[in-house]
């Protein structure tokens, strides 16, 4: 954030009002530099990462220069992914909230083209699209560029990496008149420079200095830890810091799936996003992450592009990113919008050189950190529990419980000893949970008895348990054996090969409205 004001940047009144609603008080550095230049119709190449405020840096001038009285496409914004297109559209709509009649529409593959054609027919001023679908509309003639004033390429380097060079050039060649060309890119690769030379008119380059690239409110750490215990390390960091939303980056698709399975089998609600998922599947995972239904999202670099969730508390680099630029991109997913964040990179001694290269580029040294021990985890759980105890004490209504304690009757124990015993029982409970969350490999066919912490008092019937298991995991209902329901818990026999899946899929999920805890009985 800078000390200057948006009102110093020749921004019109309705847009200033929109920015106020968005809670933007001062322009970020990239906004301060880009907005005046773009308002003068100059071509600009902005070297800025996600998290710097780059969307508003081009979004504000684009919205301000739109003539809403002309119902024609005046700006095309190209984005590499559907998620980014949706995110950019959302931000532009907010910026233009007080600009009567402004129409911003996203066009991307995977959505019904007829819906988009209808929206385009109704008149769109700004189209935010992925390259393939945008070209498709141009070829079909469902989008006309007679009034096109400017083209923006967001995350241009990523579009080139994804093989969209031809599409990008084609968009520029569709425009009859010379248009203002704006490009944002994290890197200045040869491909970017070629486009600049060929299609841009004396572009002004605006680079956000590297040292400003990583936000100061992200604490950056490195932890030397073997591959085989990294998932466990993630769980412990989640627990001791009380994180509820985190992102894990892996270098390969296969690893995202493996890590997700490991997290699930430890009882953490987790899912993965990688290039193998189709658009629907990606949307579903993203919606779950947004709504908080999953706590840990595991992804590859490309799949997690355009992810704009402000509450991510931690980013784990399960693998060191292959390209230092990716490091900046990854950790920029946390510490957004003024919040603080934690970035933890796992490494080994043999990878020191690779890590040094990153540190050199970001001009920051990563602080070494030890993997938390189980004792650390237990202590932090106790701390958390003590806070809950204080809350309960403050709320009062403890008469019945006090009577129970008094009922212990004799003078053998002090009340402090009784409280300590209760605390021990609680934390010992969590220790055995830890063990249950790391299930052994059971004989595939033998039936294993599993404990569910729901029973008759929760109105649970066998059908509810079968339904929950088959609905929340891919375990078929017909393999589930005997089910015994007791007042407060139930036992369910399942074939050994499904134990991990059931623990991974069912823990934290709800049965009859109650969060369940499942373990081997």
DSSP one-letter string for 415-452: HHHHHHHHHHHHHHHHHHHHHHTSPPPPPSSSEEEEEE
Q: Is 329 in the site for ligand AMP (CB under 6 A)?
A: no
Q: Is 53 in the site for ligand AMP (CB under 6 A)?
A: yes
Is-contact 294 311, C-beta < 8 A? no
E strands, 108-178, where?
Answer: 126-129, 150-153
Report the alpha-carbon distance of residue 507 to residue 511 in Å, rounded: 10
DSSP one-letter string for 297-318: EEE-TTTTTT---TT--EEEES
Nearest distance in Å: CB 230, ligand AMP: 28
Q: Is 182 left (phi over 0), alpha (psi -120 to 50) or beta?
A: beta
Nearest distance in Å: CB 493, ligand AMP: 49
Nearest distance in Å: CB 69, ligand AMP: 28
Nearest distance in Å: CB 111, ligand AMP: 22
Q: Is 214 in the site for ligand AMP (CB under 6 A)?
A: no
Nearest distance in Å: CB 307, ligand AMP: 10
Comparison of 143 and 186: residue with beta carbon closer to ligand AMP:
186
The single residue among 37, 54, 271, 448 that binds ligand AMP, judged by CB under 6 A, is 54
Report the alpha-carbon distance of residue 457 to residue 460 in Å, rounded: 7
Taking CB under 6 A as the binding criterion, the range among 52-60, 72-80, 139-147, 503-511 that sits at the site for ligand AMP is 52-60
The single residue among 15, 34, 56, 160 that binds ligand AMP, judged by CB under 6 A, is 56
The single residue among 310, 383, 387, 443 that binds ligand AMP, judged by CB under 6 A, is 310
Taking CB under 6 A as the binding criterion, the range among 48-56, 109-117, 197-205, 265-273 that sits at the site for ligand AMP is 48-56
Q: Is 52 in the site for ligand AMP (CB under 6 A)?
A: yes
Is-contact 168 156, C-beta < 8 A? yes
Comparison of 98 and 442: residue with beta carbon closer to ligand AMP:
98
Distances 279 to 340, 384, 434, 494 between C-alpha atoms, Å: 31, 39, 35, 34
The single residue among 50, 66, 134, 264 that binds ligand AMP, judged by CB under 6 A, is 50
Report the alpha-carbon distance of residue 120 to residue 113 in Å, rounded: 10
Convert residues 159-198 into a mask of x (bound to ligand AMP by CB under 6 A) and - (unbound). ----------------------------------------
Structure tokens, 405? 């304690």
Q: Is 129 in the site for ligand AMP (CB under 6 A)?
A: no
The single residue among 11, 15, 28, 74 that binds ligand AMP, judged by CB under 6 A, is 28
Question: How many CB atoms lie under 10 A from the CB of residue 456?
Answer: 13
Nearest distance in Å: CB 315, ligand AMP: 15
Q: Is 337 in the site for ligand AMP (CB under 6 A)?
A: yes
Comparison of 225 and 246: residue with beta carbon closer to ligand AMP:
246
Taking CB under 6 A as the binding criterion, the range among 25-33, 147-155, 384-392, 505-513 that sits at the site for ligand AMP is 25-33
Taking CB under 6 A as the binding criterion, the range among 51-59, 127-135, 437-445, 453-461 that sits at the site for ligand AMP is 51-59
Nearest distance in Å: CB 94, ligand AMP: 8
Nearest distance in Å: CB 288, ligand AMP: 20
Minimal CA–CA distance to 186: which of 286, 91, 84?
A: 84
CA dihedral (32, 20, 336, 385) positive or negative:
positive
Helical H segments across 297-373, by residue range: 324-331, 352-362
Q: Is 153 in the site for ligand AMP (CB under 6 A)?
A: no
Taking CB under 6 A as the binding criterion, the range among 23-31, 237-245, 267-275, 371-379 that sits at the site for ligand AMP is 23-31
Q: Is 51 in the site for ligand AMP (CB under 6 A)?
A: yes
Report the alpha-carbon distance of residue 91 to residue 59 in Å, rounded: 8
Q: Is 336 in the site for ligand AMP (CB under 6 A)?
A: yes
Rg (CA), the chain: 27
Q: Please, is 339 exposed, middle or buried when counting C-beta atoms within 10 Å of its C-beta (0-12, 13-18, 19+)? A: middle
Comparison of 67 and 310: residue with beta carbon closer to ligand AMP:
310
Q: Is 8 in the site for ligand AMP (CB under 6 A)?
A: no
Taking CB under 6 A as the binding criterion, the range among 50-58, 176-184, 224-232, 316-324 that sits at the site for ligand AMP is 50-58
Report the alpha-carbon distance of residue 109 to residue 301 in Å, rounded: 21
List beta partners, residue 219: 342
Comparison of 51 and 267: residue with beta carbon closer to ligand AMP:
51
CA dihedral (37, 56, 54, 148) positive or negative:
negative
Q: Is 62 in the site for ligand AMP (CB under 6 A)?
A: no
Taking CB under 6 A as the binding criterion, the range among 24-32, 254-262, 350-358, 397-405 that sits at the site for ligand AMP is 24-32
List beta partners, residue 483: 492
Distances 275 to 238, 302, 303 between C-alpha atoms, Å: 26, 8, 6
Which chain residues interact with ligand AMP by CB under 6 A?
24, 27-28, 31, 50-56, 308, 310, 336-337
């Amino acid at each position: 954030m800078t000390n200057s004001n948006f009102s110093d940047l020749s921004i019109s009144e309705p847009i200033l009002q929109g920015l106020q609603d968005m809670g933007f008080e001062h322009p970020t550095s990239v906004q301060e530099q880009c907005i005046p230049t773009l308002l003068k119709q100059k071509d600009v190449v902005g070297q800025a990462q996600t998290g710097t405020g780059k969307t508003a840096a081009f979004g504000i001038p684009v919205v301000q220069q739109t003539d809403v009285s002309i119902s024609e496409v005046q700006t095309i914004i190209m984005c590499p992914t559907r998620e980014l297109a949706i995110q950019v559209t959302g931000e532009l709509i907010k910026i233009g909230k007080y600009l009567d009649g402004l129409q911003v529409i996203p066009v991307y593959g995977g959505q019904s083209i007829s819906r988009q054609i209808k929206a385009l027919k109704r008149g769109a001023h700004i189209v935010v699209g992925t390259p393939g679908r945008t070209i498709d509309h141009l070829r079909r003639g469902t989008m006309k560029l007679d009034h096109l004033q400017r083209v923006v390429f967001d995350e241009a380097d990523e579009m080139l990496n994804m093989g969209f060079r031809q599409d990008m050039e084609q968009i520029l060649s569709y425009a009859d008149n010379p248009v203002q060309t704006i490009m944002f890119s994290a890197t200045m690769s040869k491909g970017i420079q070629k486009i600049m030379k060929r299609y841009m008119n004396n572009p002004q380059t605006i680079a956000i200095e590297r040292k400003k690239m990583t936000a100061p409110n992200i604490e950056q750490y490195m932890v030397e830890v073997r591959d085989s215990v990294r998932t466990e390390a993630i769980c412990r960091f989640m627990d001791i810091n009380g994180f509820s939303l985190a992102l894990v980056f892996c270098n390969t698709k296969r690893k995202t799936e493996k890590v997700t399975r490991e997290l699930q089998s430890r009882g953490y609600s987790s899912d993965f996003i990688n290039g193998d998922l189709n658009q629907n599947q990606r949307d579903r995972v993203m919606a779950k992450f947004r709504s908080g239904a999953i706590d840990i999202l595991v992804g590859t670099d490309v799949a997690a592009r355009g992810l704009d969730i402000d509450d991510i508390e931690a980013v784990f680099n399960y693998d060191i990113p292959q390209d230092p630029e990716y490091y900046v991109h990854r950790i920029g997913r946390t510490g957004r919008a003024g919040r603080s964040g934690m970035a933890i990179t796992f490494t080994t001694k043999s990878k020191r050189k690779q890590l040094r290269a990153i540190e050199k580029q970001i001009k920051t040294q990563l602080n070494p950190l030890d993997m938390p021990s189980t004792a650390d985890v237990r202590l932090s759980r106790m701390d958390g529990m003590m806070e809950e105890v204080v809350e309960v004490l403050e709320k009062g209504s403890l008469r019945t419980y006090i009577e129970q304690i008094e009922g212990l009757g004799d003078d053998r124990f002090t009340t402090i000893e009784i409280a300590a015993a209760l605390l021990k029982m609680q934390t010992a409970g969590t220790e055995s949970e830890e063990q249950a969350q790391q299930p052994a490999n059971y004989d595939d066919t033998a039936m294993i008895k599993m404990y569910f912490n729901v029973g008759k008092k929760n109105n649970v019937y066998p059908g509810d348990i079968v339904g929950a298991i088959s609905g929340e995991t891919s375990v078929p209902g017909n393999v589930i054996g005997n089910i015994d329901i007791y007042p407060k818990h139930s036992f369910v026999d399942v074939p050994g090969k499904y134990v991990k899946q059931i623990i991974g899929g069912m823990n934290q999920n709800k049965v009859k409205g109650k969060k369940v805890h499942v373990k081997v009985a």
